[in-house]
Structure 1
Amino acid sequence: MNPSFYISIRYFFYKKKTNLVNIIVFLSILSIGVSTFSLSTILFVFSGLENLNKKFYQIHYPDITISYSNEKDFFIDDNVIKIIKSIRGIIAVSKTMEKKVFFHYNNHEYFIPLKGVDIEYEKVMKKFKKINLKNNRFDSLNIYVGWYSLGSYFPMLSHVINMNMPLQMFIIDSNQNKTNTLVSFFMKKKVSVRGFFHFSPKMDRKYLFCDLYDLQNTMKKKVFHTLEIKIHENVNMYNMKHLLVKKLGSKFNIITRVEKEGVFYKVLNTEKIFIYFLFILMTLITGFNLFSAIFILQLDKIKELFVLWSMGFSLYRIKMIFFYMGLMITTFGCLIGFFFSYILSFIQEKYKIFKIAKKIPFPVKITLKDSCMVICMILIIGSIISFFSLRRIRNMIFYSK
C-alpha cells in the first residue's frame, strides 16, 4: 500500500487530539453531503419530468406525422399509402382531418376542434377507444363525444342524446380567392351524437371525433390534413423519417414525435445547465469548509509531519497524505448525500408520497447518467480544493523546527 495513503487513512479514522478538529471534519463531510443530496435530488426530479413528458407525448401524439409543406389539405394516392405501409417497422397509417366547429346553444357558444379519423386511427393511437350508442343518421354528421367532456358540454349534449334531435353546427373552413389569399367561411351542418370516445382526460375535453369519410362528404372534398403513423418500438424514428423522405420527396413535411418534444427538451436542458452552474457555485462555497478542515488537520499533525520529514519522507509524499484526506472527506460526504437522495427518490418513485396540489405525484426518476454526473462533479471539485490546500505545508514544516 502507498505509505502516504496508509498514513492518511490512520489520520482520518483515528481520533484527533483536539475535539474541535473532529467537529470541523464532520461539518465538512456534512456540507458536501448536503450539496450532493440537493443536486442529485433536483436532477432526479428533472429526469422524472422528462420521463413524464415522454409518456405524455407517447399517449397524445403519433410517432410520425406527414403533411404537405405548403398546403393545409392534401390527397395521397392509395398506391403511395400502400408503399408507406409496406415499409418494414410501420405498424399502422391513419388519415386525419381537423376542423374548428362552432355550436350555439341556450346563449352559450362552444368552439371545439373536430377531428375526422379513419378506422386505422385506433391502431395508431392505442389509447383511443370508441363506444357506439346508436346507428348512423344519414341526414346529419355523426360525432363522438369525449367521456371526460360530459361535464363541460353536458347541457348541450344531454339535449342531443336524450331528445334524439340533431344540433346545428357551423364548420369553419377556408378557400383561396383570386388574389391567392385565404378567405374563411362557415358551413352549416346538422350533427348527432353517435357515441363516446375515451382517449385521455386532456384529449377528451379538447376534441370531438367523427368518421373521416363523413367529414369529407360534408366538406365535399376528398382530402385530409395529415397521415399519422405508428412504428414499432424497436425502430429508430430518425432512420424511419429519413427513409420516408427518400420515398416521398421534399414536398412533404415529416415530423417525428421526438421533434415535437424538442421545445420542451431545450427548456429542460437550459434549466439543467443553470442548475449545474448554481450547484457548482454552492459546492465551491461549501468547499471552504473542506479547505479549512484540511488546514486544521495540517496544524493538528504538524509535529508528526516534521518527524516524517526528518526521517526522509519527501515533501511530495507529505502533501499527498492531506490530498488523500481531502479526497476521503469529499468521498464520504458525496456517498452519504447520494445515499439519502437515492433513498428519498426511490421511496417517492415507488410510493408517490409527495404530490403536487394533492393530486399529481411529484415526478422522480433515478438515472445512471445523473448519478455519475453528480459523483464526478463533487469529486472533481473536492480534488481541486484538496490540491490547493497543500501549498502551505512546506512553510508550516520549516517554521515548526
Structure 2
Amino acid sequence: MKLSHFFARRYLFSKKSVNAINIISTISVVGVLVSSAALVIVLSFYNGMEKVILSMFSTFSPELRVEPAEGKLFSTHNELFENLRKQKEIKGYSEVLEEKVLLQYGNHQFIGQIKGIEPKSLNQHAADSMLYAGEFTISKENVSYAIIGASVQANLQIPIVGLQNTMLVNSPKKGGGNAVNPADDIIQRGISPRGVLKYQQGFDNLIITPIDFARDALGEYEKVSAIEIYTHNPDGLTTIEEQIQAMLGDEFRVLNREEQNPTLYKTVRTEKWAVFFILTFIGIIAIFNIIGSMTMLVIDKRQDMIILKSLGAENSLIQRIFYNEGMLISLIGSTFGILIGYIFCFAQDTFGFIRTQEGQNSIIDAYPVDMRLTDFGLVFLTVLLVSIVISYLSSYLSVKAIGSFHTKTSE
C-alpha cells in the first residue's frame, strides 16, 4: 500500500482528536451521497416519464413511414411499391391518404384531419390503449365507418350509436372554383362513427376511415400521402429502414418514429438533460464541502505534516495524502448514493408507493421508473470528475497552508 493511501485512509476512518472534523467529514460524505442518489432517481423518473409519453404518441405512429421528398402526394401504381409490399421483413403495409376536411353534423362544424387507411392495417394498433368508447373498426359488412378523435366528437356532439349519427365530410373538388353555384365545387360524403379515440394531442382531431372512402371524399383516386409500415422484427428496424431507403431512392423519405415526431423527442430529452445539469450544479456545491473538510483536517494534522516534512517528505507526498482523502470521501459518497438511488427506484418500480393524482382520466397510477445502466455510469463519472478537480484544489491549498505554517514556525 502506498504511503499516501495509508495516511488518507487512516485519517478518514480513525477517530480524530477534534469532534468537529468528524462532523464535517460526515457532512462531506452525505453531500456527495445525496447528490448522487438524487441524480440517479431524477434520471430514472425522467426515463420513465419519457417512455410513457413517447409510447402514447407512438400508439398510432407506424414503425416506418414513407413520404415523398417533395410535394404531398405520390403514386404507388408501379413495380417498385409492389415489390416493397412483398418484402418478407414487412408485417403490415398500408397506403394512407390524409387531408384537412370540414366535418358537419347538424348545426355543428369542425375542421378535422381525415386519414384513410387500409382496414386490415387497423389490426396493427392497440385498440385497448387508443379506444375511449365504441368499436375499433372502420369497415363492417362492406360498409364504411369512422373512428373519430375526442375533439371531433366533442365539437360535433355526435353520438356513436343510433340511426341518426351520420356526419358530412366536405372537401373542395380538384380544379374547382369555376362553377356558378359554389356548392358544386364541394365534395360532400356521409359516414357514421363507430368509435371515439382517447383524448390525446396526436390524434384528437382525426377521423379515421377506409382509404376507399377517403379517396371518394377527397376526389383523389390515384395518389396517396404516405405508406405506413410495420415489421416482424422491431429490433432490426434501423437496418430495414436503410434497406427501404436504398430501394426507394432520394425521391422518398423513410421516417422512423423519432423522425416522424422530432419536436416531441427533442423536447422530452432536452428537459431531462436540463434537469440533470441543474442537479449536477447543486451537487458541485455540495461536493465543495470536501474543501472545508480538508481545511479542518489540515488544522488538526498540521503537526504530523510538519514532522513528515522534517523527515524528508516532499510536498507532493503531502498533497497526495489530502488528494486521496478527498477522493475517498467522493468514492464512498457516490457509491452509497448510487446504491440508495437504485434501491429507491427499484422499490418505486415494484411497489409504486409514489402515486399520481387519482381519477378516471389518469393515464398512470404511479410515477413510472426506467433504470438505465448508462445513467448510473454517467452519474458516477460526473461525480468522479468533479471530485478529482475539487480534491486536487483542496490538496493544493492544504499543502500551501502547511508550507506557510512551517515557514512561520521555522522563523
Of residues 120, 130, 149, the one that matches 2:136 is 130
Per the TM alignment, residue 15 of structure 1 is displaced from its structure 2 partner at its CA by 1.0
Partner Cα distance (1:108, 1:30) in 2:
63
Name the amino acid aligned to 1:130: F
**Quick check: 28-37 or 347-356, which moved more?**
347-356
* TM superposition shift of 1:247: 1.8
Residue pairs, 1:10-29, within 5 angstroms: 10-29=10-29
Q: Is the 8 A contact 1:57 1:257 kept in 2?
A: no
How far, CA to CA, are the matches of 1:236 and 1:133 in structure 2? 32
Q: AA paired with 1:14? A: S
Q: Distance in 2 between matches of 1:312 and 1:278?
A: 45
Conserved 8 A contact 2:119-2:139: no
Where do 1:286-301 residues align within 5 Å? 286-301=286-301
Residues 348 and 354 in structure 1, CA contact (< 8 A), matched pair in contact too: yes
SS of 1:111 mapped into structure 2: strand
CA RMSD of aligned residues (A): 3.4
C-alpha change, 1:225 and 1:132, in structure 2 (3 Å) is closer
Partner of 1:307: 307
**Secondary structure of 1:301's aligned partner:** helix
CA contact (8 A) 1:25 1:293 kept: yes
Percent identity between matched residues is: 21
Matched, 1:386 2:391: yes
After TM superposition, give the deviation of residue 103 of structure 1 in Å: 3.9
- How many Å apart are 1:61 and its aligned residue? 0.4
Alignment-derived partner of residue 91 in structure 1: 91
SS of equivalent to 2:395: coil
The letter for the 2-side match of 1:395 is: S
Q: Hey, what does 1:374 align to over in structure 2?
A: 379
Contact 2:138–2:209 (8 Å) recurs in 1: no
1:42-77 Cα deviation digits (max 9, x unpaired)? 222332233224423432200111123333333212
Q: Distance in 2 between matches of 1:339 and 1:278?
A: 21
> What pairs up with 1:136-285 in 2 under 5 angstroms?
136=142, 142-145=144-147, 152=154, 156-157=158-159, 161-162=161-162, 164-165=163-164, 167-173=166-172, 175-176=174-175, 186-193=186-193, 195-196=194-195, 202=200, 205-222=204-221, 223-285=223-285
1:108 aligns with 2:114: no
Q: Aligned partners of 2:57, 2:168: CA distance in 1, in Å?
A: 31
Shift of 1:149: 8.0
Q: 1:374 to 1:270 in 2, by over 3 A?
A: same
In 2 relative to 1, CA 153–201 (structure 1 residues): closer, same or farther, beyond 3 Å?
same
2:156 & 2:217 partners in 1: Cα distance? 25
TM-score by length of 2: 0.81
Aligned AA for 2:214?
A: L
| Distance change in 2, residues 1:186/1:344 (3 Å) | farther
CA shift for structure 1 position 252? 2.2
TM-aligned CA deviation for residue 148 of structure 1: 7.0
Measured in 1, the distance between the counterparts of 2:88 and 2:205 equals 33
TM-score normalised to the size of structure 1?
Answer: 0.83
Q: Deviations over 1:306-335 (max 9, x none)?
A: 333333444322222211111111122222
Deviates more, 1:21-30 or 1:263-272: 263-272
Structure 1's unaligned 5+ residue stretches are: none
3-state DSSP of counterpart to 1:332: helix
Give the SS at the match of 1:254.
strand
Letter in 1 for 2:340: F
After superposition, residues 328-343 of structure 1 pair within 5 angstroms as 328-343=328-343
Count of residues in Structure 1 that have an aligned counterpart in Structure 2 = 389
SS in 1 for 2:209: strand
1:378 Cα deviation after fit: 1.1
Which letter does structure 2 place at the counterpart of 1:211?
Answer: P
Contact 1:36 1:338 in 2 (8 A): yes
Cα 1:147–1:283 change in 2 (3 A) is: closer
Q: How far did residue 14 of structure 1 move?
A: 1.1
Aligned to 2:79: 79
Give 2:302's aligned amino acid.
I
- Cα distance in 2, alignment partners of residues 133 and 79 from structure 1: 28
Amino acid at match of 1:372: G
Alignment-mate amino acid for residue 216 of structure 1: R
